Amino acid sequence: MKKAESIPTGIVRGGLWPDHHAALIELLDHHPSRRIGNHLMLNIAEACVEQWPITLHDYNQAIEAGTTTKPVKFTVRQDLYPRLYDRYKTLPVTIRTTVFLNMLNRFADMARSNPEAVTGAMRDLEQGKSSKPALDPDPTSGHSGLPVQVTNVGQVVQSSPSPESSDNHQLAEDDVDPMSKIHTGL
């Protein structure tokens, strides 16, 4: 009899700090079943991990003296969450849990603050699309999370959410390059 092959998994066990992981705690507590909350969070992360990769902020360790953590466990299966599994396995063993939980918290915060962008990423993942314009990875930075375009002269123009307001923004194609009138003597 042939033995069934096991599916590669990554087990993330850790504790969520109340202030540092507030968005993730809120998302998980919103669902009556731990499995439903975990499944939703891992699906959100699978959809977002390529568009909003790991940031330096994800490496910060939360240490809150005198507070207790909420224990969590996530099972990242390669067959269900291939992008997330690959990202998890590329992290050094000593910091996997910290970085992974911080990344999940960031995605939970994005789901709370910009649900349209996260829903769009999930829809694109479901439809098999993998490339989209880069969105602001940090929902707390004060940006709206709209796609950002960089023009040929390095000017950053934030895309407008509706066609009516797009008339207010002119791309740099119509602008005259201010450096074109400077003579360098070459």
pLDDT in tens, the chain (186 residues): 555 578 899 999 999 998 899 999 999 999 889 999 999 999 999 999 999 999 999 999 877 766 788 999 999 999 999 999 999 999 999 999 999 999 999 999 999 999 999 999 999 988 886 544 444 444 444 444 434 333 333 344 444 444 444 444 444 444 455 545 555 554
Verify that 21 and 113 share a domain, yes or no.
Answer: yes
Domains: count for the chain: 2
- State pTM to two decimals: 0.66
In a domain, 140, yes or no: no
Answer yes or no: do 113 and 47 share one domain: yes
Q: Tell me which of 132, 157, 177 is where a domain ends.
A: 132
Which residues have C-beta within 8 Å of that of residue 42, sequence separation ≥ 6? Answer: 74, 76, 80, 81, 84
